[in-house]
Chains A and B, each alone.
Chain A
Amino acid sequence: MSIWEYANPKKFMQTSSAVLPWATALAGAAMLVGLIWGFFFTPDDFRQGSTVKIIFLHVPAAMMAINIWVMMLITSLIWLIRRHHVSALAAKAAAPVGAVMTLIGLFTGAVWGQPMWGTWWAWDPRLTSFLILFLFYLGYIALWEAIEDSDTAADLTSVLCLVGSVFALLSRYAVNFWNQGLHQGASLSLAPGTRMDWAYKAPLYVAMAGFVLFFVALVLLRTRTEIRARRLKALMARERIEA
């Protein structure tokens, strides 16, 4: 059994049909538990007060904003190298989810930054690279919509995805590259030393798992729609030729 079997739309539809209900249920449960735990049952931080509760949205959304672009990069490369339509359609399906995650990251960052930093926005390396990543998401979605031929659209959006990957990685590592700006370093790290108490870390991990599962469920659903839309377009074109 090879992973490339899932490049067959029929096989993908069969497998995703079985996985989707489980992914949806797990995503709903994990998000609900993580966000309710984080919002209702965590104490205020001694310095940040109740704004610390924003972390349960901000960190998972920002994490997904970057990782979704990385997933799009991988599927775009698969399209460019192996010409599997399902991978190109999966990248197309993922983009709006990534755009929404980036927007949530930017918005929650702004409403958190205002009371803590005294400003909604600063041209800080991480904030700026995140804004550019958001613009790349919008450009990627617009490019798919602007080109009639789906193979050409997949080619051009894949190239755009490769270019945008610089900003996806930059937004992840900007705080390490440039030791300046308002944004703090990584909240979660494998490095020794306690950065965050388990009272916050535990619900944060649950919320992060929820966001990952939410993405898996939604991208499966949206990729199924894109596969059907592609078939619909092909059948309608055939009908027009036959008419």
Chain B
Amino acid sequence: MMPDLGRYAVEVSAAYVVSLALIAALVAISLARGARVRRQLREVEARRGRTDV
């Protein structure tokens, strides 16, 4: 299944692993902050009895 990357296996694998890890981290951070802000806004709006956004 894994292609034979020959003498450049380390370079090619590192490029994919690091890039995909950076993308995954960016998505995870964005989702986590989105969920946190949404929860906090819901709490404040519930206190004030209003939901606009």
Flag if B30 contacts A221 (CB, 8 Å).
yes
Given contacts A40-B3, A49-B6, A224-B34, contact A57 B22 (CB under 8 A): no
Q: Which residues of B contact A225 (CB under 8 A)?
A: 30, 33-34, 37-38
Flag if B48 contacts A235 (CB, 8 Å).
yes
Q: Which residues of B contact A58 (CB under 8 A)?
A: 15
CB 8 Å contact bits of B7-30 with A (1 = contact, 0 = none): 111011011101100110011011
Q: A104-B22, A107-B18, A111-B14 are in contact. List 4 more A-B contacts (CB 8 A).
A: A10-B52, A40-B3, A96-B29, A232-B41
Query: Residue A112 at the B interface, CB < 8 A?
Result: yes
Query: Residue A54 at the B interface, CB < 8 A?
Result: yes
Q: Which residues of A contact B23 (CB under 8 A)?
A: 100, 104, 214
Flag if B34 contacts A221 (CB, 8 Å).
yes
**A contact residues, range:** 35 or more
Q: Which residues of A contact B41 (CB under 8 A)?
A: 228, 231-232, 235
Q: Across chains A and B, which 7 residue pairs bring their CB atoms closest together, nearest first?
A: A50-B5, A225-B34, A232-B41, A108-B15, A111-B11, A54-B15, A104-B19
| Contact with B44, one of A114, A221, A224, A239 (Cβ below 8 angstroms) | A239
Shortest distance from the beta carbon of B38 to any chain A beta carbon, whole Å: 6
**B contact residues, range:** 20 to 34
Flag if B26 contacts A218 (CB, 8 Å).
yes
Given contacts A50-B3, A100-B26, contact A57 B19 (CB under 8 A): yes
Given contacts A97-B26, A231-B52, A236-B44, contact A111 B15 (CB under 8 A): yes
Q: Which residues of B contact A (CB under 8 A)?
A: 1, 3-9, 11-12, 14-16, 18-19, 22-23, 26-27, 29-31, 33-34, 37-38, 40-41, 44-45, 47-48, 52-53
Query: Residue A51 at the B interface, CB < 8 A?
Result: yes
Given contacts A44-B6, A235-B48, A239-B44, contact A13 B53 (CB under 8 A): yes
B9 to chain A: closest residue by CB: A50
User: Can you list 25 contacts pairing A with B, beta carbon distance less than 8 Å?
Assistant: A9-B53, A10-B53, A13-B53, A40-B1, A40-B3, A49-B7, A50-B5, A50-B8, A50-B9, A51-B8, A51-B12, A58-B15, A61-B19, A100-B26, A103-B22, A104-B23, A115-B11, A214-B23, A218-B26, A222-B30, A225-B30, A228-B41, A231-B41, A231-B52, A239-B48
Shortest distance from the beta carbon of A100 to any chain B beta carbon, whole Å: 5
Q: Which residues of A contact B11 (CB under 8 A)?
A: 51, 54, 111-112, 114-115
Q: Which residues of A contact B53 (CB under 8 A)?
A: 9-10, 13, 227-228, 231
Query: Residue A92 at the B interface, CB < 8 A?
Result: no
Given contacts A225-B37, A228-B37, A235-B44, contact A108 B19 (CB under 8 A): yes
Query: Residue A229 at the B interface, CB < 8 A?
Result: yes
